[in-house]
A and B are shown apart, each in its own frame.
Chain A
């Protein structure tokens, strides 16, 4: 019998449980969905996949993409700016640890409590709605209500900004102070340094962060469900189809929609990994 190298043995010992775990709980259900999407009613057909992108479901994809895209860009810019500002501030040390922990909580825990908070703030009986009414502005006219598009954008920014803040910290720390000093020595102003050095180096990381934000909000369910369970967003439509799966044929539509979602997210994360490689070129020490 051929002897197995001890390194190979230890490699197998740690890799096998991981591979088995991923296969059983992630790949098996995912493959089952994709397989079902291509075989509606038992025969191979792409009709279901076509139907999932038509009518109200097409609108769902458009709405979800618009919401995720808008919050990714706005949240990305604000989150990155926050990280850049925090990096220049040394003094209130409590602010750093408070912001770090708060961001961890706000970016993950969001969901249900967040929706409640915004109903209390910008709902029809909300505190801010009332305050703005006092000065003669009806914020609902601008689509800022918990069910309107801009209202949802505002609510989603509450978890998107902290997430971007967390994600962009390492990239910003990769900008070495010596570069700035070198630029200053050669007579570049602060603005010129950012335009020529800072922003070009940060761009891949910033785009990567925004893609992550896009993925994060495209799939967000809890907040949207609590605010408006009947909204025309993809995650809410999936829930509707899943709960109404007594009607035959409708579950196939659910599989088709989920297949499209998985495809979209997979493409985004591919791009994200590519951008991260570009980022690593500069942040590697």
Chain B
């Protein structure tokens, strides 16, 4: 009975997650209007033309390229800022960890829709050249990636007992830089990958900030494209969603196989 309830719950939840995607797939890839949909017509009119139409859109490739580059730069910037900070805090000043945990949560106080207003009064009037390039989004995306990136890195440092490792290496005479590069960093792969995966999902999904600063990224392109080509737009959105999910799941599984547990937790 208990097992039955558990599985009933899981199946109901799976249906909640899958049915909207199926409805989306049907609308995108089947040309039969929903009014005419009966068991007899359920298998008619399926074709992959909509996604081919989306793939033939040069702007789609340009927007995808922009979003992928944005994700890469954002990951790089967040990690460059936070890895040294997380390691030094853990080793030299562990009493400052709660402060850093609270500080890195601050970006969530000012979500994209709020910060974009601040950017309009500061950078747009004071330094408009800064917002000219689409890559001016990178520092802001790095901000919103900070809360979960710091937590992933900190969890990784706790899990490997970084302070003990540091003291052990130190007692054998290794200098600080060597310890960080050869002992601590190689042990943090799992948390770095987890943070990178979440950052990728964040950047590929962020719409408010890019849209209000009139930058063309994959999400803003998708909204415009869907308005002109409804079915191809839906097909594209579905493919992007599933490809990202599959990519992240492949990475998580590869790490698991190497015995690294991945905590994709936000907090």
Residues of A within 8 A of B (CB): 7, 10-11, 13-15, 17-18, 21-22, 24-26, 28-30, 32-33, 36, 78, 81-82, 85, 88-89, 97-98, 100-114, 116-118, 120-121, 125-128, 130, 157-158, 161, 163, 166-167, 169-170, 208-209, 212, 215, 219, 221-222, 225-226, 235, 238-239, 242-243, 245, 254-255, 258, 261-262, 265-266, 269, 272-273, 276-277
On whether the beta carbons of A109 and B201 are closer than 8 Å, the reply is yes
B252 within 8 A of A: yes
On whether the beta carbons of B17 and A158 are closer than 8 Å, the reply is yes
On whether the beta carbons of B110 and A262 are closer than 8 Å, the reply is yes
On whether the beta carbons of A221 and B208 are closer than 8 Å, the reply is yes
On whether the beta carbons of A166 and B81 are closer than 8 Å, the reply is no
On whether the beta carbons of A18 and B253 are closer than 8 Å, the reply is no
On whether the beta carbons of B81 and A105 are closer than 8 Å, the reply is no
Chain A residues whose CB sits within 8 angstroms of the CB of B21 once the complex forms:
117
On whether the beta carbons of A225 and B207 are closer than 8 Å, the reply is yes
On whether the beta carbons of B226 and A166 are closer than 8 Å, the reply is no
- Given A26-B107, A212-B267: A104 touches B248 (CB 8 Å cut-off): yes
Q: Which DSSP category, helix, strand, loop or mixed, fits chain A's interface?
A: helix
Question: In the bound complex, what is the Cα–Cα distance between A192 and B204 (angstroms)?
Answer: 45
**8 Å CB contact of B116 from A169, A242, A255:** A242
On whether the beta carbons of A170 and B263 are closer than 8 Å, the reply is yes
- Given A109-B205, A120-B234, A221-B112: A130 touches B37 (CB 8 Å cut-off): yes
- A-B residue pair count with CB separations less than 8 angstroms: 244
On whether the beta carbons of B208 and A128 are closer than 8 Å, the reply is no
Max chain B C-beta neighbours (<10 A), residue from A25, A107, A116 = A116
Question: In the bound complex, what is the Cα–Cα distance between A222 and B211 (angstroms)?
Answer: 9
Q: Which DSSP category, helix, strand, loop or mixed, fits chain B's interface?
A: helix
Q: How far is the CB of A124 from chain B (nearest CB, A)?
A: 9
Chain B residues whose CB sits within 8 angstroms of the CB of A273 once the complex forms:
101-102, 105
Number of interface residues, chain B, beta carbon within 8 A: 88
- Given A36-B121, A104-B248, A239-B212: A128 touches B19 (CB 8 Å cut-off): yes
On whether the beta carbons of A117 and B20 are closer than 8 Å, the reply is yes
Q: How far is the CB of B121 from chain A (nearest CB, A)?
A: 5
B13 within 8 A of A: yes
Q: How far is the CB of B99 from chain A (nearest CB, A)?
A: 11
On whether the beta carbons of A163 and B176 are closer than 8 Å, the reply is no
On whether the beta carbons of B140 and A255 are closer than 8 Å, the reply is no
